[in-house]
C-alpha cells in the first residue's frame, strides 16, 4: 500500500513568531520541510538567523521580570493549565509530531500525555523552591540562601521528539522562574511554536517563552548571546563540544544532554524472552533515533543463541512502514542525509567482515521514496569498530558476546559515551555490583519505565553533564545566593 500523505493541512502559514510579531522575511532564510515517510516537501519553514535570535533574547529579557515576580502558586497553576491544554490538543499535536519526523502515530499519540506529566511534575515544585538556613556557629548571625532563577535560558533542542523535549525544558526552567528562548532544529520546526502559543494561552506572559526554529548559525548566535544567562543544550556530542567552546567567551554556564551508545547486558540467569523483547526496542523505538536506545546487545555466551533467535524472530514481525498506519511501530529515519549516513556505516562494517543477521538495506517497494532503513542486526563486531563506538541513530543493533561479569562491564563501559545501560539478570548481588560498576547516568534493571519526570536523567563521560528530571533537573535552572546578616 502506498504511504499516506501527512496532515499538512494542520500547518500554519510559514512565519517565525517573536512574541506577537510574525516574520516572513528573516536573516535565517527559508527551507522546505520534507516528510520522512514520502521524501516529499510538506511546506516552507521560516528560520531564525542571528538577527531574530537577538530580537528573541531581547523580548525574553524584557518579559522575564513578570514571570520571576509572579507568585509561586500563579506559576504552578499556569504550568498545570499548560499541561491541560496540551492534553486537550493531543490529537492535533500528535499528528504534527508524526508529520515533523515521520514518527508512527501509535507512538506520537503517547507523547502529549507524557509531556503533560513532565509539566505537572514541575508545577508541583513551583511552591517548594526556596532556600536553606545555613548553620554559622561559632559566629553569631543569620546566614541563608535564596534559590534564584538565572534569567534568560537559551534552550537548544534536537529533532527527535519535540513535545517531550519542550516539556522537559519548559517544566523545570519555568518552575524555577526563568524566561526561555528555545531553538528547535530546522528539521522539526512545527510542534515547538505551538507549545509556545499554548503557553501564552495558559497564562505565561508573552515573551517568557520564545521559540525560534533555526539551524546551526542560529544555535551559535543563541549560545554566544551576552544576554543569555544559561544554555541548556540537547543534541549530539560533536555539537555539544562546539556549544561549550562558543559559551567560553562569555563564561555562560552550560548543561549538555548529549548522545549515547547504551548497552543491554543480558546475563545467563536473565528472563531471556523478556530481555530479547526489551533489547529489540534498541533498534525499533524511534527507529533507533533515541538518545537512550540500547543499541549494543551484550549477551552471555550461554544464552547468545536463544537471545539472538528471539530478537530476530520478533524483528521479522515488527510492523514496519507507513507512520500513519495504526499498527506501525517502526517508521522512517528523519532525513535523506540520515538514511545515507546509516547505510554508509553499514557498508563500511560489511567491508570489515561483520555478520549481517538481518536487514542492512534501504527499504524498497512502497517505502522506496521515504527514508526507511530495514531493521538491522549485526554480529561479530569488533569492540573498537565504528558500529560499536559511534552513535548510529538508526534501526541498528549490534551483538557482542561475553564470558564473565568483568568482561561484560568492560564491554559496556568501552565507549566514550555513558548515558544509559540496561541490565538483565535475576541475581540480586550481581545487580548491585554491576549497577555500581557501569559508567552510565542511568541503569535500568529488567525493564525501563520510560522517562520518569521524577528521576534524574543525563550522561557521564561524553554523554554530557547536567540532568533533566527530578529535583536535579530543577537545580539546573536555579542558583543559590547567600545572604549573611550579623546578630
Ligand atoms: P545536533 O547536535 O545535530 O543538533 C542539536 C541542536 O543543535 C539542533 O537544534 C541544531 O540545529 C543545533 N545546532 C547545530 N549546530 C550547532 C552549533 N554549532 N551551535 C549551537 N547549536 C547547534 O543533534 P540532532 O541530530 O538534532 O539530535 C540527535 C542527537 O541528540 C543525538 O546525538 C542524540 O543522542 C542527542 N539527544 C540527546 C538527548 C539527551 O537527553 N541526552 C535527548 C535527545 C537527543
Cα(154)–Cα(218) distance, integer angstroms? 11
Parent domain of 436: 262-452
CA nearest neighbour of 50 among 217, 239, 281:
217
Taking the CA of residue 123 as centre, how many other CA atoms within 13 Å lie in the half-sphere pointing to its CB? 20
| Helix, strand or coil, per DSSP, at residue 371 | coil
Question: Is the domain of 305 the same as that of 359?
Answer: yes
Residues 284 and 253 in one domain: no
157 in any annotated domain: yes
From the list 10, 13, 92, 93, the residue with the least C-alpha distance to 46 is: 13
Give a yes or no: residue 459 inside a domain. no
Q: Are residues 122 and 269 in the same domain?
A: no
CA 213 – ligand 1 centroid, Å = 13
**Residue 217 CA to chain centroid, in angstroms?**
21
- Taking residue 327's Cβ as centre, other Cβ atoms within 10 Å add up to 11
Task: Judge if the upstream peptide bond of residue 262 is cis by omega within 30 degrees of 0.
Answer: no
**Could you tell me whether strands 230-234 and 254-257 are parallel, antiparallel, or unpaired per DSSP bridges?**
parallel
Into how many domains does the chain fold? 2
Cα radius of gyration rounded to whole Å, the chain: 23
- Which stretches of 125-236 are DSSP H helices? 162-175, 191-202, 216-224
Q: Which residues of the chain have pLDDT under 50?
A: none
CATH number at residue 335: 3.40.309.10
Q: Indicate the top mutation candidate among 235, 419, 473 to test ligand 1's pocket, ranked by most ligand atoms within 8 A of CB.
A: 235
pLDDT of residue 10: 93
- Please name every residue paired with 141 in a beta bridge, in sequence order, or none if there are none: 486
pLDDT at 370: 98
Residue 160 Cα to ligand 1 middle (Å): 9
Q: Does a structural domain hold residue 2?
A: no
Q: Does residue 457 sit within a domain?
A: no
197 and 282, same domain (yes or no): no
Q: Cis peptide leading into 138, omega within 30 of 0?
A: yes
Asked whether residue 72 is domain-assigned, the answer is yes
- Is 27 inside a domain boundary? yes
Q: Look up the CATH number of the domain holding residue 44.
A: 3.40.605.10
> Are residue 223 and residue 308 in the same domain, yes or no?
no
**pLDDT reported for residue 451:** 84
Nearest to residue 17, comparing CAs of 193, 206, 187? 193
Please indicate, yes or no, whether residues 184 and 137 belong to a single structural domain of this protein. Answer: yes
Distance CA 83, CA 204 (A): 12
Claim to verify: residue 160 and residue 290 sit in the same structural domain: no
Q: Are residues 74 and 161 in the same domain?
A: yes
What is the C-alpha separation between 279 and 300, in angstroms, rounded?
A: 14
| One domain for residues 237 and 266 | no
How remote is the CA of residue 159 from the centroid of ligand 1, in Å? 8
Both 214 and 298 in a single domain? Answer: no
Residue identified by cell 559515551 is 417
Task: Classify residue 50: in a domain, yes or no.
Answer: yes
Q: pTM to 2 decimals?
A: 0.98
| One domain, residues 254 and 266 | no
pLDDT of residue 1: 84
Are residues 202 and 267 located together in one domain of the fold? no
Torsion of CA 70, 72, 75, 77, to 10 degrees: -130
What pLDDT score does 250 carry?
A: 97
Ligand 1 atom with the smallest distance to the CA of 457 is 40
Closest C-alpha residue for ligand 1 atom 35: 235
Q: Within a domain: residue 418?
A: yes
Amino acid at each position: 500500500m502506498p504511504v499516506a500523505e501527512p496532515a499538512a493541512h494542520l500547518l500554519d502559514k510559514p512565519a517565525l513568531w517573536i512574541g506577537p510579531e510574525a516574520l516572513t522575511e528573516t536573516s535565517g532564510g527559508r527551507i522546505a520541510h520534507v516528510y520522512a515517510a514520502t521524501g516529499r516537501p510538506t511546506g516552507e519553514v521560516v528560520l531564525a538567523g542571528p538577527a531574530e535570535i537577538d530580537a528573541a533574547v531581547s523580548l525574553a529579557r524584557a518579559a522575564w521580570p513578570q514571570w520571576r515576580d509572579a507568585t509561586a502558586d500563579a506559576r504552578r497553576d499556569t504550568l498545570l493549565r499548560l499541561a491541560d491544554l496540551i492534553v486537550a490538543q493531543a490529537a492535533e499535536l500528535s499528528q504534527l509530531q508524526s508529520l515533523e519526523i515521520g514518527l508512527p502515530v501509535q507512538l506520537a499519540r503517547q507523547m502529549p500525555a507524557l509531556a503533560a506529566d513532565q509539566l505537572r511534575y514541575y508545577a508541583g515544585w513551583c511552591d517548594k523552591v526556596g532556600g536553606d538556613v545555613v548553620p554559622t556557629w561559632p559566629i553569631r548571625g543569620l546566614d541563608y540562601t535564596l534559590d534564584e532563577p538565572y534569567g534568560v535560558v537559551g534552550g537548544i533542542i534536537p529533532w527527535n521528539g519535540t513535545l517531550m523535549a519542550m516539556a522537559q525544558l519548559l517544566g523545570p526552567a519555568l518552575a524555577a522562574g526563568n524566561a526561555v528562548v528555545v531553538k528547535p532544529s530546522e528539521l522539526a520546526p512545527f510542534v515547538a511554536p505551538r507549545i509556545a502559543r499554548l503557553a501564552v494561552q495558559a497564562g505565561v506572559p508573552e515573551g517568557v517563552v520564545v521559540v525560534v526554529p533555526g539551524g546551526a548559525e542560529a544555535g551559535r548566535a543563541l549560545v554566544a548571546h551576552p544576554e543569555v544567562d544559561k544554555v541548556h543544550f540537547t543534541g549530539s556530542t560533536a555539537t555539544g563540544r562546539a556549544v561549550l567552546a562558543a559559551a567560553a567567551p562569555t563564561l555562560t554556564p552550560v548543561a549538555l544532554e548529549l548522545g549515547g551508545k547504551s548497552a543491554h547486558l543480558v546475563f545467563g540467569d536473565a528472563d531471556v524472552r523478556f530481555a530479547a523483547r526489551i533489547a529489540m526496542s534498541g533498534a525499533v523505538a524511534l527507529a533507533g533515533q533515541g538518545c537512550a536506545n540500547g543499541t549494543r546487545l551484550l549477551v552471555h555466551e550461554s544464552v547468545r543463541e536463544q537471545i539472538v533467535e528471539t530478537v530476530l524472530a520478533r524483528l521479522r514481525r515488527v510492523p514496519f512502514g507507513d507512520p500513519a498506519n495504526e499498527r506501525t511501530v517502526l517508521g522512517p529515519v528523519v532525513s535523506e542525509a540520515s538514511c545515507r549516513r546509516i547505510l554508509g556505516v553499514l557498508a563500511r562494517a560489511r567491508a570489515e567482515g561483520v555478520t549481517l543477521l538481518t536487514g542492512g538495506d534501504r527499504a524498497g517497494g512502497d517505502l522506496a521514496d521515504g527514508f526507511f532503513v530495514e531493521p538491522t542486526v549485526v554480529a561479530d563486531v569488533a569492540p573498537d569498530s565504528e558500529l560499536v563506538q559511534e552513535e548510529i541513530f538508526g534501526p541498528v543493533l549490534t551483538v557482542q558476546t561475553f564470558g564473565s561479569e568483568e568482561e561484560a562491564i568492560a564491554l559496556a563501559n568501552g565507549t566514550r559515551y555513558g548515558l544509559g545501560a540496561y541490565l538483565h539478570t535475576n541475581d540480586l548481588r550481581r545487580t548491585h555490583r554491576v549497577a555500581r560498576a557501569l559508567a552510565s547516568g542511568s541503569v535500568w534493571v529488567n525493564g525501563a519505565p520510560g522517562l520518569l519526570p521524577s528521576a534524574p536523567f543525563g550522561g557521564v563521560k561524553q554523554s554530557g553533564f547536567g540532568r533533566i528530571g527530578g529535583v536535579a533537573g530543577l537545580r539546573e535552572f536555579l542558583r543559590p545566593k547567600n545572604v549573611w546578616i550579623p546578630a
